[in-house]
Amino acid sequence: MPELPDITAYIRALEARIVGQAIEKIRLASPFLLRTVEPRIEEAEGRRVRELRRIGKRIAIGVEGDLWLVLHLMIAGRLHWKQAGAKLAGRQILAAFDFPNGSLVLTEAGTKHRASLYVVHEDGLEELDPGGIDVFNSTLESFRTALTSENRTLKRALTDPRIISGIGNAYSDEILHAAQLSPIAMTQKLKPEEWERLFTATRSTLRRWIDQFSAEAESRFPEKVTAFRKGMAVHGRYGETCPRCGETIQRIRYADNETNYCARCQTGGKVLADRSLSRLLGSDWPRTLDELEALKRR
C-alpha cells in the first residue's frame, strides 16, 4: 500500500504537472471506483486544479469552485502520467483525468476493487480523514499520547490510521527496526527512553524515504511505487541478513501479509512464533491491511 513517502512523492509529481491546469475530461472505466453521487463528478470538468493535499493515505485534488477529488489507492492502486488522451486499454485501468499537458491514469492490480474516488466539498474532507496524528507536527508528548490511547502492540498502533497518519506495513517494519523495538511490545509498557527512540526513529525513517522519493519525483513521475524498496533494512527481507547485526531477518505471517524484524536487534534474540502468535494477539494485531485501512474516524 502506498504509504506517506510514496503519497508525498505522488503529490510532488502532480503539483508540478496539474496545479493551474484545467481538467478537460474525467473518464471512468470502472463502475466500482466512484463512491459518491453528489456533487457530480462532471462538475469538476473545465475547472482548474488549485492545490493538492494528503489526507492520511489519500490524495486530495482541489479544483476551483470548492470541489475535491479524493483518491484512495488502498493496496494495489497506482497512478501514472501518460500522454494527453491516452487510451484506456486493459482491465487494470480505473480512470483517467485528462489535462492539456497529459493524462493522470489510475490503475489497480487484482480484482478486489478497493481503490476509491470521492467527490466532496471542502467541508467533507474531514470526514474522509481517519484522524491519525501527523508525526511531523507532533511532539514526543503528543506522539506518546496518541499511541497509548489504547494498549496495543507497536505494530498495530503504528499502522492504525486513526492513531497515526500515513504509516502501513512496510514503514512500520522499518521504523521498529530503526528503533530496535519489538513489533509485539505493548504501547502502554514502553519505557521513557524507548518512547524517545520510537519517536526519533519514526520521524527519521519517514523523512529519509520522503526526501529520497521526492527528489526522484522531481525528475520523473513515480511509476514504480512498491512496498519493497532497495535499501530497506528488514521489510520484505525475510531470510536475508540484518544490515545492523548480520542476523537472519525473521517474520510473523498473517492473512496474506507479513511483518519482518530482526530478533537480535528487536526482541532480545527471541524468535516470535509465526501464525499462532498473530492468532493469539487477536485484535492487537493488524488482521488484513484492507480492514485496518478501512477504519473510520472515531
Which residues make up the interface to Zn ion (CB under 5 A)? 242, 244-245, 247, 262, 264-265
CB of 176 to Zn ion, least distance (A): 12
**Largest Cα–Cα separation, the chain:** 60
Least Cβ distance, residue 262 to Zn ion (angstroms)? 3
Whole-angstrom distance, CA of residue 56 vs CA of residue 63: 19
* CB-closest chain residue to Zn ion: 242
CB of 173 to Zn ion, least distance (A): 13
Secondary structure (DSSP) of 93-105: EEEEEEETTEEEE
Q: Quick one: how far is CA 49 from the chain centroid?
A: 23
What is the residue-wise DSSP string for 118-157?
EEE-GGGHHHH---PBPGGG--HHHHHHHHTSS--BHHHH
Nearest Cα neighbor of 260 from 276, 277, 272 is: 272
Spell out the residues 6+ positions from residue 109 whose beta carbon is closer than 8 angstroms to its own: 76, 78, 92
Q: Which is nearer to Zn ion, 82 or 244 (CB)?
A: 244
Question: Least distance from C-beta 152 to Zn ion, angstroms?
Answer: 24
15 vs 247 by CB, closer to Zn ion: 247
Nearer to Zn ion (CB atom), residue 144 or residue 237: 237
- Cα atoms in the Cβ-side hemisphere of radius 13 Å centred on 13: 26
Expressed in angstroms, the distance from the first to the final Cα of the chain is 22
Closest distance of CB 205 from Zn ion, Å: 15
Minimum CB–partner distance for residue 247 and Zn ion (Å): 5
Q: Which is nearer to Zn ion, 18 or 178 (CB)?
A: 178
8 vs 267 by CB, closer to Zn ion: 267
In the bound state with Zn ion, the residue whose beta carbon lies nearer, of 27 and 264, is 264
| Shortest distance (Å) from residue 86 CB to Zn ion | 45
Residue 195: all three cell numbers together: 518512547
Using an 8 Å Cβ cutoff, are 84 and 100 in contact?
Answer: yes
Amino acid at 79: L
Residue number, 7 or 178, with CB nearest to Zn ion: 178
